[in-house]
Copies of this chain bind each other. A is one copy, B any other.
Amino acid sequence: MNGNTPVSSKRSVFFVSDGTGITAETLGRSLLTQFEGILFQKTRLPFVDNPEKARMAVERINLAAQGDSMRPLVFSTLINREVRDIVARSNGLVIEFFDTFTGTLEAELGVGASRVTGRSHGIGSYDAYTARIGALNFALNNDDGATTRNYAMADVIITGVSRCGKTPTSLYLALQYGIHAANYPITEEDLGTSRLPTALQPYRDKLFGLTIDPERLQQIRSERRPDSRYATLTQCRMEVAAVEEIYAREHVRFLNTTTMSVEEIAASIILQAGLKRRL
């Protein structure tokens, strides 16, 4: 121990929850995006719902504290007071989300919090589960123009050239919001006429177009089918220009997905198309 002891340069972070840990992790990660240049070693500790598991969590936190020679950050969403008090006595900096805000909300709403665990990402009701799986099946069955006969039942029909983000967006809308999203690829054959493909014409009001910078499209397509004509910059430029011409001519709302995450594309479509979540 003469100054040569290697000191970890990573800050340990724990997300501790009595449920899935999704809330603790979402909130913690959001805060950490504001701190650049620091390496974080993240660990999720879900289903910490009794004192024994709380003590095991504390052991892991304290071990990290010792190894790092720095206090770990602990983001926690624990409802049960006994469990919470055990974790609070760990050697981490404990940021307790529910505890921080529950008092304010109790005062405002004039009732006490129920303090039932595992609610945030639990099953809710069987009806909600059914709605969600129904939406997911809808997205899967109506992916990539597989069939167009269910479009009357769609909340939105996402369209665009191959590999601009249609499928991930449709599945995300289904899983997170229960929205019925179909998607239809505009292919080279559709692009000659500068008109909407016939299958889409009756559903203009449900259409939402995606576009993407040709350079980025080329990158994505090259990962999938390297050295194909499909992945050339010339082809990507031609398709993107043609699809944007259709959007303009046919007054289809659209957005450019080049720098957007699936979450951002989904949130933008919901906002711009005025969709309602079904979950």
Contact = CB atoms under 8 A, between A and B. Distances in A.
A167 interface: yes
Contacts of A71: 108
A263 B22 contact: yes
Number of copies: 2
Contact of A26 (B22, B31, B123, B129): B22
A19 B263 CA distance: 10
B95 A104 contact: yes
Chain A interface, >50% SS class:
helix
Interface string A120-149: 111110100110110010001000000000
Given A136-B168, A271-B46, A34 B261 contact: no
Interface of A: 11, 19-23, 26-27, 29-31, 33-38, 44, 46-47, 71, 73, 77, 79, 93, 95, 97-98, 100-102, 104-105, 108-109, 111, 113-116, 118-124, 126, 129-130, 132-133, 136, 140, 167-168, 171-172, 175, 216, 219-220, 223, 259-264, 266-268, 270-271
